[in-house]
Amino acid sequence: MPNTHTTALAAVDPTVAAGSAQFLTPVTLGLQALAVNGKQAHWNVRGANFIAIHELLDTVVAHAQGWADEAAERVVALGLPIDARLDTVAANVDATKVAAGFTPWEETVRAVIADMDGVIASLQAAVDGLDEIDLTSQDIAIGIKAGIEKDRWLLVAHLAE
């Protein structure tokens, strides 16, 4: 069992810390999964739109890593640890939509969008749930949600007809 004792921080209500961790932990785990799967997709995408998708996926991965860090650091700043090791991510996130090998660009884009949709659902739950718990944590979730929705839009545009 991991050590989940809070660290002594000035003016941090343990209820706020626990509530924020409840909502930001799934966000962190989903973003970590998106970063790993996005890089997998980046390496194995194939087809006519290769270079555009390949480069866009690098951006998606970099954003996901940054946002995961932001969400995790908020939990830690409130005095709680966070476990986002790969085995923890794999056990808690349903983000297996990205294929293991070479994949046509259309399939790759759809798979990454599906993984993004899972993170967006966690973010919406965080936005809704944090409204009465911690507005600073909610603000972080709102900012991340705006960013990932923009990245999603850029991928969806490749599928538009």
pLDDT-based confidence at residue 161 (cuts at 50, 70, 90):
confident
**Would you say 130 and 16 are in contact if contact means Cβ atoms under 8 Å apart?**
no
**Residue-range definition of the domain harbouring residue 38:** 14-159
Does some domain include residue 45? Answer: yes
Does some domain include residue 2? Answer: no
Does some domain include residue 133? Answer: yes
Q: Tokens 């990454």 identify what position? A: 112
State pLDDT tens for residues 90-124: 999 987 789 999 999 999 999 999 999 999 999 99
Long-range Cβ contact pairs of 87-93 (< 8 A, separation 24 or more): 88/29, 89/29, 89/32, 89/33, 89/36, 90/33, 92/26, 92/29, 93/26, 93/29, 93/30, 93/32, 93/33, 93/118
Count CB-CB contacts under 10 A for residue 146. Answer: 10
| The token pair that represents 132 in the structure block | 């009465």
Q: Tokens 């603000």 identify what position? A: 139
Does some domain include residue 29? Answer: yes
Determine whether 77 is exposed, middle or buried from the number of CB atoms within 10 Å of its CB (0-12, 13-18, 19+). middle
Does some domain include residue 108? Answer: yes
Residue 5 has pLDDT above 70, yes or no: no
Contacts of residue 39, Cβ cutoff 8 Å, sequence gap at least 6? 57, 61
Does some domain include residue 121? Answer: yes
Does some domain include residue 20? Answer: yes
Does some domain include residue 151? Answer: yes
Q: Report the domain count for the chain.
A: 1
Residue 6 has pLDDT above 80, yes or no: no
CATH number of the domain bearing residue 142 = 1.20.1260.10
